[in-house]
Amino acid sequence: MLFPRLTHPRAYVGAAALLTLLVAPLLINSPFVFHLAVQVCIFGALATAWNIVGGYAGQLSLGHAVFYAIGSYVTTMLVIHFGLSPWIGMFGGAAVAVVAALVIAYPTLRLRGPFFALATIAFLEVCKLLVIHFEGFTGGSAGLNVPLNIGLKWMIFREKWAYLAIAFGFLAVTLWISWAIRYSRFGFYLIAVREREDAARAVGVNAVRVKIAAAVISAALTSFLGSFHAMYLTFLEPSAAFSLELSIQIAMFALIGGLGTVAGPLLGTVLVLPAAELSRGWLSALGNGTHGFVYGVVLVLVVLFFPRGLVGHLGGRALALIDRLPGGRQLARKLPATRHAANAGASATTTVGQPLLVAEGLQKRFGGLLATDNVSLTLHEGEILGVIGPNGAGKTTVFNQLSGFIAPDAGTVKVRKADGEWTQPTSPEAFAHAGVGRTFQIVQPFSGLSVRENIMLGAFMRTQNTEEAQAIAHEVAELTDLTSLLDHEARGLTVGGMKRLEVARALATGPKVLLLDEVLAGLNPTDVARAIEMIRKIRASGVSVLMIEHLMQATMALSDRIIVINAGKLLREGKPADVVNDPAVIEAYLGKGYLDAQTA
pLDDT (tens digit per residue) in 524-559: 888 888 899 999 999 999 999 999 988 888 888 899
Q: Residue 513, SS3?
A: strand
Question: What is the arrangement of strands in the sheet containing 384-388, beginning at the earlier edge strand?
Answer: 436-438, 513-517, 544-548, 384-388, 561-566, 569-574
Q: What are the Cα distances from residue 29, in Å, to 22, 26, 43, 50, 189?
A: 12, 5, 21, 31, 44
Report whether pLDDT(220) > 60: yes
As a whole-number percent, the residues of the chain with pLDDT over 70 amount to 86
Kindly report, residue by residue over 290-299, the tens digit of the pLDDT.
Answer: 666 777 787 7
Per-residue model confidence (pLDDT) at position 578: 86
- pLDDT confidence of residue 480: 92
- Mean pLDDT for the chain overall: 85
Contact 520, 469 (CB under 8 A): no
Amino acid 285: pLDDT: 54
- pLDDT for res 593: 54
Lowest-confidence pick of 82-91, 98-107, 560-569 = 560-569
Output the pLDDT for position 427. Answer: 93
Confidence of residue 333 (pLDDT cuts 50, 70, 90): very low
Which pLDDT score is estimated for 14? 59
How far is Cα 61 from Cα 65, in angstroms, rounded to an integer?
9
The pLDDT tens digits for 131-187 are 999 888 888 888 899 998 999 999 999 888 899 999 999 999 999 999 999 989 999
Per the model's pLDDT, the better-predicted residue between 326 and 457 turns out to be 457
- Domains of the chain, each with CATH number or no CATH: 13-243 (no CATH), 353-599 (3.40.50.300)
The yes-or-no verdict on residue 242 having pLDDT over 80 is yes
pLDDT at 347: 40
Instruction: Provide the 10 A C-beta neighbour count for residue 535.
Output: 23
State the number of CA atoms in the 13 A half-sphere of 456 facing the CB.
27
The answer to whether residue 346 scores a pLDDT higher than 50 is no
Find, among 511, 388, 516, 496, the residue nearest to 440 by Cα.
516
Instruction: Reply yes or no on whether the pLDDT at 477 is more than 90.
Output: yes
